Amino acid sequence: MGARFALLLFGGMTVFSVQAAELRIALQDADSGAGVQGAVVEVLLPAAQQAAYALSTTVSVDQVDKEFVPNVTVIGVGSRVNFPNSDAILHHVYSFSPAKVFELPLYGQGQNLDYFETFEQAGVVELGCNIHDWMLAYIYVAQTRLAVATDEQGRAQLVDVPEGEYTVRVWHPRAASEGNVMEQKLVFRNSESGNLRLALTLERDNRLRRSPKVSRTRYR
């Protein structure tokens, strides 16, 4: 199934220019019309402008009830992330993504609280657990602070976008497009607010939640 990506501004009119220093976004499933949570919208700035909009932070991706929480985390280049385990069982966190390769071998509740990974390359980092193979999460490492994830209603907001023409990238882990990414050039002018509605086609989530058979006395 191919990707379907629409950019709509006011009254359903298709546009490719947005006058906005503040961009309000509403993302919908192209099939159901429901809001899409956990999509990332990023305004890509030229390299010469990126330093002025850089933002590194320190955040946590927890493990709760055999799931990563949150499922999608947005950070800037240079940010640090730790991976606490709030479950009373062992987890084994890893990533083989080109943007960041790392591994945290088996550890339990309350351990590794002072361990941080630094993410120095922009891109999408997919997290997994070697013990619970349905556990997936994503760290979106943005070039600058001009990136945000949509909420439960599929809404998000970007502020302080500089005037100019830029590529706007939309990423979702189940977007039915190459690399799960859609891009569109938009023009931002005059420090005016804009309202942007987007629709995309999602692939089904085919993960199966199950417990491994190995060493069930230690983890499950």
pLDDT (average), residues 65-74: 97
Dihedral (CA of 7, 10, 12, 17) sign: negative
Contacts of 214 (CB under 8 A, 6+ apart): none
User: Strand 193-200 and strand 22-29: pairing?
Assistant: parallel
Contacts of 41 (CB under 8 A, 6+ apart): 25, 27, 147, 148, 149, 150, 156, 158, 168, 169, 170, 198
- Are 38 and 60 found together in one domain? no
49 within some domain: no
- Are 115 and 165 found together in one domain? no
- Are 26 and 67 found together in one domain? no
pLDDT (average), residues 101-113: 95
Contacts of 168 (CB under 8 A, 6+ apart): 41, 42, 43, 44, 183, 184, 185, 186
- Are 122 and 65 found together in one domain? yes
Q: Are 31 and 203 in contact (CB under 8 A)?
A: no
Tens digit of each residue's pLDDT (9 = 90 or more) over 142-166: 999 999 999 999 999 999 899 888 9
Q: What percent of the chain has pLDDT over 70?
A: 83
pLDDT given for residue 196 in this prediction:
77
Bridge partners (DSSP) listed for residue 139: 73, 125
- Are 60 and 125 found together in one domain? yes
CA distance 60 to 80: 8
- Are 86 and 125 found together in one domain? yes
91 within some domain: yes
Q: What percent of the chain has pLDDT over 90?
A: 69
- Are 59 and 40 found together in one domain? no
- Are 167 and 101 found together in one domain? no
- Are 128 and 65 found together in one domain? yes
1 within some domain: no
Q: Tell me, what CATH number does 190's domain have?
A: 2.60.40.1120
- Are 154 and 129 found together in one domain? no
- pTM confidence score: 0.86
Q: Tell me, what CATH number does 120's domain have?
A: 2.60.40.420
pLDDT at 12 > cutoff 50: no
Query: What's the domain range around 86?
Result: 55-141
177 within some domain: yes
Q: Choose the weakest-confidence range: 11-15, 35-39, 72-76.
A: 11-15
pLDDT given for residue 205 in this prediction:
82
pLDDT (average), residues 94-109: 96
> What does pLDDT average to over the chain?
86
- Are 136 and 86 found together in one domain? yes
Q: What is the tally of structural domains in the chain? A: 2
User: Predicted confidence band at 210 (pLDDT cuts at 50, 70, 90)?
Assistant: low
102 within some domain: yes
CA distance 12 to 191: 22
pLDDT at 11 > cutoff 50: no
- Are 80 and 19 found together in one domain? no
CA distance 210 to 213: 10
